[in-house]
Amino acid sequence: MPKIGAIILAAGMSIRMGEPKLLLPLRGQPLFRHAIDSILGSSMQPLYLVAGKYIEEIRQHSEDYPGLKIIHNPNYADGMSTSLKLGIQSIKEHVDAVMIFLADQPLISRDVIQALIEKYIECKDDGVRIVRPKYKGEAGHPILVDAVILKEFHSIEGDQGGKSIIQKYDAMTETVSFDNSMWGFDIDTPEDYLKVKLHLKS
């Protein structure tokens, strides 16, 4: 069995939200904890969370996760790529693959995580290096990346994350399709937050 770790990117500045979105309450706990809970229900280890401006608040709300390693990104204002590179640098020597999560996607199902892991195990010997979900046909997160190509992420810059690397390895990418578009929904604005709360009540 390959060893698969996880990185949660949680260093965004919440500019469109107007307040720290990852700390907003959702079902009785801060929004960012939902991603952690989904990951802890899987076999993935180790688990790293990369935080920025609100790292102290995130630490305070994470004290009951002894297996969670929180990393500070002092360059969080320079975009998501800085967090992604920092997380990969921290985890790459310990895993065969890594699954990359966005902390503002609280509805990621454990079914999604397990399906991506199973697809990777099934296809890695055929040369597959990236596995990602499609929610009603639209590609999204989390993304599972083989350790062989993690070094490629050193070249990324700005707020584009790993898009250029994913495009480069398109021929070595497999997707898993899901009918529930809300599983991959990310919260950026007050309207998004309201939509998720209403969805959870329905």
- Angle (nearest 5°) at CA 70 between 156 and 200: 90
pLDDT of 101 reads: 98
- What is the domain range of residue 85? 4-201
pLDDT of 54 reads: 96
At residue 133, the 3 state secondary structure works out as strand
User: What average pLDDT does this structure show over 51-70?
Assistant: 96
Q: Above 80 in pLDDT, residue 18?
A: no
pLDDT of 91 reads: 96
pLDDT of 43 reads: 86
Indicate the number of domains in the chain: 1
**CA distance linking residue 9 with residue 51, whole number of Å:** 7
pTM: 0.95
CA dihedral over 191, 193, 199, 202, signed as positive or negative: negative
- H/E stretch holding 7 reads strand 4-10
Encode pLDDT of 67-119 as tens digits: 999 999 999 999 999 999 999 999 999 999 999 999 999 999 999 999 999 99
CA dihedral 84, 8, 62, 22 (to 10 degrees): 90
- H/E stretch holding 135 reads strand 130-135
Q: How far is CA 82 from CA 50, 72, 87, 123, 153, in A?
A: 10, 11, 9, 30, 10
pLDDT band at 136 (very low <50, low <70, confident <90, very high): very high
pLDDT of 150 reads: 95
**CA distance linking residue 58 with residue 184, whole number of Å:** 22
pLDDT of 6 reads: 98
Q: How far is CA 174 from CA 7, 35, 127, 149, in A?
A: 20, 23, 10, 15
23: Cα within 13 Å, side-chain hemisphere: 18
How large a percentage of the chain has pLDDT more than 90? 85
pLDDT of 63 reads: 95
Long-range contact set of residues 149-156: C-beta below 8 Å, sequence gap at least 24: 150/88, 150/92, 150/98, 151/92, 153/84, 153/85, 153/88, 154/85, 156/81, 156/84, 156/85
Phi, psi of 59 (to 5 degrees): -60, -45
CATH number of domain containing 106: 3.90.550.10
User: What average pLDDT does this structure show over 34-52?
Assistant: 94
pLDDT band at 26 (very low <50, low <70, confident <90, very high): very high
pLDDT band at 17 (very low <50, low <70, confident <90, very high): confident
Phi, psi of 124 (to 5 degrees): -65, -35
Encode pLDDT of 149-183 as tens digits: 999 998 888 777 788 899 999 999 999 999 999 99
